[in-house]
Structure 1
Amino acid sequence: MFIRIVKMSFHEEKIPAFLENFELVKNKIRNAAGNRFLELYQDKNNKSIFFTYSYWETENDLENYRNSELFNEVWSFTKKLFNDKPEAWSVDKLASIK
């Protein structure tokens, strides 16, 4: 399993549209084949910055999602709201302490 972290920065007036759309698609993303976890975070100091954390069984599962109609719809809508280039990282979980 690995984790995908995506940092997105939005025009302030576009944040409600992003959140509304995320609410509509979050369960579809979470139920994509191989997805095991999805969370959305908002920066405490800069309210225009958001992060998604998603856990995937395999890199191929993420690639299948990224090539899906759902991703194309979500990304086509979301990228129009950005005020800066998004950043993404794929990381392996090395430890989890609960």
Structure 2
Amino acid sequence: MLIRIVKLSFEEEKISEFLSTFNAHKEQIKNFKGCTHLELLRDKNKSNIFFTYSYWNNEQDLENYRNSDLFNNVWSQTKVLFNNRPEAWSVERQ
């Protein structure tokens, strides 16, 4: 199993647009082949910082998602809202 953590930072006035986009697509992402878990976390002290936390069966499933029309659609709507470069980590449980 692969765990993917992505840190996203937004302009304050664009947070509602991000949440709308995320909520409109989260079920499709959750149901994408190989995804077994998806959640959105918000920083407790900096309300404009979010983290997506997802589980994938393997790295190939994540890559398939990252190369999909679904990802490209969601990413194109989201990336214009950032106020800082996103950061991402692929991790495994030990």
Normalising TM by the smaller chain, what interval?
A: over 0.9
Amino acid paired to 2:31: N
Structure 2 gap ranges (5+): none
* Residues 70-90 of structure 1 deviation map (CA, whole Å, 9 limit, x = unaligned): 000000000000000000000
Q: Distance in 1 between matches of 2:17 and 2:70?
A: 17
State the percentage of identical aligned residues.
63
**What is the match of residue 6 of structure 2?**
6
**What is the match of residue 86 of structure 1?**
86
Q: Distance in 2 between matches of 1:60 and 1:76?
A: 22
Q: After the TM superposition, which residues 1-98 of structure 1 pair with which residues of structure 2 at under 5 Å, given as runs?
A: 1-94=1-94
Please, what is the CA RMSD of the aligned residues? Answer: 0.4
Ranges of 4+ aligned residues in structure 1 off by more than 6 Å: none
User: What is the aligned length?
Assistant: 94
* Residues 57-80 of structure 1 deviation map (CA, whole Å, 9 limit, x = unaligned): 010000000000000000000000
Shift of 1:2: 1.1
When Rg is computed on C-alpha atoms for both structures, the one with the higher figure is: 1
TM-score (norm 2): 0.99
SS of the residue 1:93 aligns to: coil
Amino acid paired to 1:19: L
* Residues 9-35 of structure 1 deviation map (CA, whole Å, 9 limit, x = unaligned): 000000000001111000000000000
TM-score (norm 1): 0.95
Amino acid paired to 1:44: K
Structure 1 gap ranges (5+): none
